[in-house]
Amino acid sequence: MPASDRVKRGMTESSWIRRMFEEGITLKQKFGADKVFDLSLGNPIVEPPAEFTSEIRRLAENPIPGMHRYMENAGYPETRAAVASQLAGETGIKYTGSDIIMTCGAAAALNVTLKTLVNHGDEIIIFSPYFAEYFHYISNHYGIPRVLPTDDRFLPRLDALGEAIGPKTRALLINSPNNPSGVVYQDEFLDQLGTLLHEKSARLGHPIYLLSDEPYKRLIYDGVKFAYPSRHYVNTIIVNSHSKDLALPGERIGYIAIHPDCSDRAELLDGFVYCNRTLGFVNAPAIMQHAIRRLQAITVSIADYQRKRDFLYENLTNMGYSMLKPQGAFYMFPKTPIPDDVAFIRELQQELVLTVPGQGFGTPGYFRISYCTDDHVIEGSLSGFRKVARKYGLC
């Protein structure tokens, strides 16, 4: 058998998101692309901001000598300094370029961080619902994902966290705004979390790192502000990317930012550089590092996402679907009207509406809708949602 047992196991537990996306391709071939309403993948249809196109044009017309060569594995010092300066301005924390490692998106940033931190069998705590790839990333580096519950507002339960932290706990991985729930953690919650991690680290005699996965931090609605975990806990390592805020997921550009006062900062930074190199990323794409340097304060249109969210939320709740109004990111996570979320999304699929079952995020009984798509797809999905809502007596 050519593939290893671990890879075969990983493939059989493969992502529901990808599975639905691929089934969508088959349905589109059969029924026509305009008849299928694909709300499965978080792949933004918006184009990057005009400033990005100008930067690319400027680089093409005025190439920087040596711009396609190898570089330091951590990335260009000028780009790292630009990222640090933006972060310092936003957080009030004195980040400098030396705290930043440029990566191939948040996915690489997570893998580099986990490889650096995790000894065989160490536990990484995550909360359900979670981004499903976390499981694979943690297992890549022989860590054990320890899944803990959230409360009825999808906030991590701190009592459960307090009980779960033990000698094997290496880090806690959080994601706000959250994929899939759309929840945005607030300062008060992060303050309690920071206090708990501080106390537990002191008791255990080793730091528990807080990995803060922040790719949606600019996609927040109704004037809600992003609360920075790094302000509440010094042993915070940010992983981020421009996949969502600049709509560049195919370009693979992101970064790791370590708090300047983080425990064992120097050794961790050396580890990140080593792992970026030896995982085979080598460095983040050169042209993207040049392009995003001046775009640190730019974001795609939030108003457009908010309009899509409002339209879908209003229509679905009027049909009787039950959900928390998402505060950020571009997902909704309603309850399924029957306990079997896979059976429910199959019903929607019969109506050519594609969503993802909650069990793909460790939370059966819910389903995820991704609304970063064209208006006509969102509008076209409504009749399928209504038909299935009627079938289950919601409206």
Ligand X SMILES: Cc1ncc(COP(=O)(O)O)c(C=O)c1O
- Interface residues toward ligand X, by CB under 6 A: 42, 105-107, 131, 175, 179, 213, 215, 241, 243, 249, 254
Select 131 or 313, whichever has its Cβ closest to ligand X. Answer: 131
Distance (Å, whole) CA 80 – CA 326: 32
Select 220 or 352, whichever has its Cβ closest to ligand X. Answer: 220
Burial of 56 (0-12, 13-18, 19+ CB in 10 A): middle
In the bound complex, what is the minimum distance in angstroms from residue 35's beta carbon to ligand X?
A: 26
In the bound complex, what is the minimum distance in angstroms from residue 215's beta carbon to ligand X?
A: 5
Burial of 113 (0-12, 13-18, 19+ CB in 10 A): buried
Select 254 or 358, whichever has its Cβ closest to ligand X. Answer: 254
Select 258 or 352, whichever has its Cβ closest to ligand X. Answer: 258
In the bound complex, what is the minimum distance in angstroms from residue 236's beta carbon to ligand X?
A: 16
In the bound complex, what is the minimum distance in angstroms from residue 73's beta carbon to ligand X?
A: 18
Residue 57 to residues 49, 69, 162, 182, 248, Cα–Cα distance (Å): 13, 19, 52, 35, 16
Select 194 or 254, whichever has its Cβ closest to ligand X. Answer: 254
Token code pair at residue 42: 């978080």
All residues at 6 or more sequence positions from 62 whose CB lies less than 8 Å from its CB, including other chains: none
Select 83 or 352, whichever has its Cβ closest to ligand X. Answer: 83
Select 352 or 369, whichever has its Cβ closest to ligand X. Answer: 369
In the bound complex, what is the minimum distance in angstroms from residue 120's beta carbon to ligand X?
A: 24
Select 110 or 352, whichever has its Cβ closest to ligand X. Answer: 110
In the bound complex, what is the minimum distance in angstroms from residue 134's beta carbon to ligand X?
A: 8
In the bound complex, what is the minimum distance in angstroms from residue 133's beta carbon to ligand X?
A: 7
Range 4-12 contact pairs with CB under 8 angstroms and sequence separation of 24 or more: 6/139, 10/136, 10/139
In sequence order, the β-bridge partners of residue 124 are: 145, 171
In the bound complex, what is the minimum distance in angstroms from residue 164's beta carbon to ligand X?
A: 21
Q: How far is CA 83 from the centre of its chain?
A: 19
The Cβ-side half-sphere exposure at 3, using a 13 Å CA radius, reads: 8
In the bound complex, what is the minimum distance in angstroms from residue 104's beta carbon to ligand X?
A: 7
Beta strands in the chain (DSSP E): 37-38, 100-103, 123-127, 144-148, 169-175, 209-213, 236-241, 254-258, 331-332, 353-354, 356-357, 367-370
In sequence order, the β-bridge partners of residue 258 are: 237
C-alpha angle 146-148-151 in degrees, rounded to nearest 5:
170
In the bound complex, what is the minimum distance in angstroms from residue 243's beta carbon to ligand X?
A: 3
Select 95 or 130, whichever has its Cβ closest to ligand X. Answer: 130
All residues at 6 or more sequence positions from 208 whose CB lies less than 8 Å from its CB, including other chains: 165, 169, 170, 171, 172, 197, 200, 201, 235
Select 55 or 213, whichever has its Cβ closest to ligand X. Answer: 213
Q: Cis before residue 215, ω within 30 degrees of 0? A: no
Burial of 389 (0-12, 13-18, 19+ CB in 10 A): middle
| DSSP string over 89-121 | HHH-S---GGGEEEESHHHHHHHHHHHHHPPTT
Sign of CA dihedral 212, 217, 223, 228: positive
